Chains A and B, each alone.
Chain A
Amino acid sequence: MTDRKKPKRRFAYEILGLIGISALFAGILFLILSWTAATIAESYCFYNDVVMTEFDWLEVDRWIFSLSGILCAGCFSLLFLSLLSDRMAYIRTLTQGIDTLRLGQAGNILPLEGRNELTQLADAINYMSATQQQLREKEQTLAREKEQFLRALSHDIRTPLTSILAYSEFLAEGNSLSPAEQKQHLQTIRRKAEQIRDLTALLLDGNKRNPEHFDDAHLLMEQLAAELEEELEEAFTVHTDLSGCPSFSGAFDVQELHRIFDNLSSNVQKYADPQQPVDLSIWTTPAGLCIRQTNHISAEAGQKDSSKLGINSIRRIAQNYGGKVDVLQNTEQFSICITLSDF
């Protein structure tokens, strides 16, 4: 809203001005008419040899003045009403602006004409319109973000759920499993169930983050890499490289890191070629922590539709750490590099 504390000119004075202008022009017209008519009358009498007495001239003058007065009064009214109507057109524009605002069609900018109260009103309407527009945009952004969050979280909840289903089926069928293996699978199921519980809590809390400080985050990375290996070991050969990741400290939300690795695991299971190894490298740089996973794409991967929800979820988490996600993909190979900067 522009700074218009006080109108420079009041609307009432403008109306008075219009009356003054109309009166001025009417006065000028009166003078022109009376003088012209008198001149015409004199010329007519002169060229037509009409002799008029003083009384006749007085009569003509009275005629002329009366007629000039009537015409000027008419002109004054017409002129004033026309000028007033011209100013009233701006009020109609303002009314239309308010109607537009009432209908919720924000973004309508009214022209600022003059420097009076009406201009202030137009300015206020423009301000309201702009505010309404901003609010609407904010609402839309929030709704979009909420939808994206829910979609990503739903996707992330499904990933451990799939693992639970797979392991429970495996346990149900696998009579040849040793008690130690059964215990290990049950622990995995439990871990995945806890993950689902935490993700559901996250859903209820509305994306509330819970970063914890780790004096040696290298151990955390080792554990996450080991869990990924464990999940994929049945069908894939995983090469893990943590040589570039010495001991370092930082604050991480374990839940978020789990989601990253779960999404990586899920993508590998869906699209990777089991005949080729899956590489996972974790290393630190001055820019932060980098996690890169590469795999060959299976021949069937092209037939599966990908909504990119997993990658988008990883991208959102990376953004929480002021980081980024770079994806390189061709017909044969897929590579994703996740950089986490602020931790």
Chain B
Amino acid sequence: MITFLDLLIIVSMVLIAASFLSLVLMFLIRNKKVQRVCFYIAVALSLYIGYVGIRINWPGFYGQVVLAAVLVLVSIGALVLERVKKNDGKMFLYARIAASAALVIGTVNALLV
């Protein structure tokens, strides 16, 4: 029988695997379409991880809550940057870096600290 511990581990592992894969593909693949899809997945995951970070650290761990909120804002900012500067390769790179940072730090903040 699957316990809450098992579920927690499964969900966290799937989340981490999906995040890792989207990050790697976002930077290694040259196809712009795939890059954008991976970027949107990374942003969605970072938003979800940010929400989890706020949800599980509230109340009590306010520093981590603030950090999670900031990371959510960073993800939204990356998304806005990508949508506004659609054909600007440099801006898209910055947006990808921001989304990746938000996802990695958010995962560490929500699951490991």
Contact = CB atoms under 8 A, between A and B. Distances in A.
B73 interface: no
Interface string B21-39: 1001100111100100000
A131 B31 CA distance: 31
Most chain A CB within 10 A, of B6, B10, B13, is at B13
A72 B17 CA distance: 8
Contacts of A50: 5
A4 B9 CA distance: 53
A28 B14 CA distance: 15
B97 interface: no
Given A33-B17, A36-B112, A82-B34, A67 B28 contact: no
A194 to B, nearest CB: 72
Contacts, number: 70
Nearest to A28: B20
A305 to B, nearest CB: 53
A40 interface: yes
A151 B28 CA distance: 62
B14 A41 contact: no
B29 A71 contact: no
B57 interface: no
Given A32-B16, A33-B17, A36-B112, A25 B24 contact: yes
A64 interface: yes
B110 to A, nearest CB: 11
14 contacts: A29-B16, A29-B17, A29-B20, A39-B112, A40-B111, A44-B8, A67-B13, A71-B13, A71-B14, A72-B17, A82-B28, A83-B29, A86-B31, A89-B31
Interface of A: 21, 25, 28-29, 32-33, 36-37, 39-41, 44-45, 50, 60, 63-64, 67-68, 71-72, 74-75, 78-79, 82-83, 85-86, 89
